[in-house]
Amino acid sequence: MINLETPKKAGALINQAYQAAAEVFRPISRKYDRAEHTYPSELDMFAALLDGLNSSGEGGAGAAGVRRSPDAGSGNRNGANLNVALGTIEMCWGDVGLLLSMPRQGLGNAAISSVATDEQLSRFAGLWAAMAITEPDCGSDSAAITTTATVDGDSYLLNGEKIFVTSGQRADAVVVWATLDRSKGRAAIKSFVVEKGTPGFEVVRVEHKLGIRASDTAVLRFENCRVPKENLLGTPEIDTGKGFAGVMQTFDNTRPLVAAMAVGLARAALDETRRVLTESGIFVDYDRPALTQHAAAATFLQLEADYEAAYLLTLESAWMADNRKPNSLQASMAKAKAGRTVVEVTLKCVELAGAYGYTEESLLEKWSRDAKILDIFEGTQQIQQLIVARRVLGKSSAELK
Q: How many angstroms separate the Cα of 65 from the Cα of each of 14, 147, 155, 237?
A: 17, 24, 26, 24
Q: What is the pLDDT of residue 250?
A: 72
CB-based burial label for 255 (10 Å; 0-12, 13-18, 19+): buried
Cα(156)–Cα(224) distance, integer angstroms: 9
Coarse DSSP helix, strand, coil percentages of the chain, rounded to the nearest 5 percent: 55, 15, 35
C-alpha 400/C-alpha 395 separation (Å) is 6
Across the strands, what pairs with 344?
Answer: none
What pLDDT does 277 receive?
A: 98
Integer CA distances (angstroms), 155 to 2, 121, 225, 229, 236, in order: 45, 19, 10, 5, 12
Q: Give the Cα separation of 86 and 76 in Å (integer).
A: 18
* pLDDT tens digits for range 254-276: 899 999 999 999 999 999 999 99
Residue 380, SS3 per DSSP: coil
- Give the closest residue to 113 by CA, choosing from 147, 80, 85, 78: 80
Angle subtended at Cα 363 by Cα 359 and Cα 368, rounded to the nearest 5 degrees? 85
Distance CA 98, CA 381 (A): 23
Residues of the chain with pLDDT under 50: 1, 57-61, 72
Active site residue 378: yes
Q: What is the distance of C-alpha 370 from the center of its chain? A: 13
Complete domains list, the chain, with CATH: 8-123 (1.10.540), 129-231 (2.40.110.10), 245-393 (1.20.140.10)
Q: How far is 120 from 28, CA to CA, in rounded Å?
A: 36
Instruction: Please pick, among 90, 135, 316, 378, the residue that the annotation labels catalytic.
Output: 378
pLDDT score for 246: 54
Model confidence pLDDT, tens digit, residues 138-153: 877 777 899 999 999 9
pLDDT score of 30: 97
For the residues of 146-164, what is the DSSP string, one character each? --EEEEETTEEEEEEEEEE
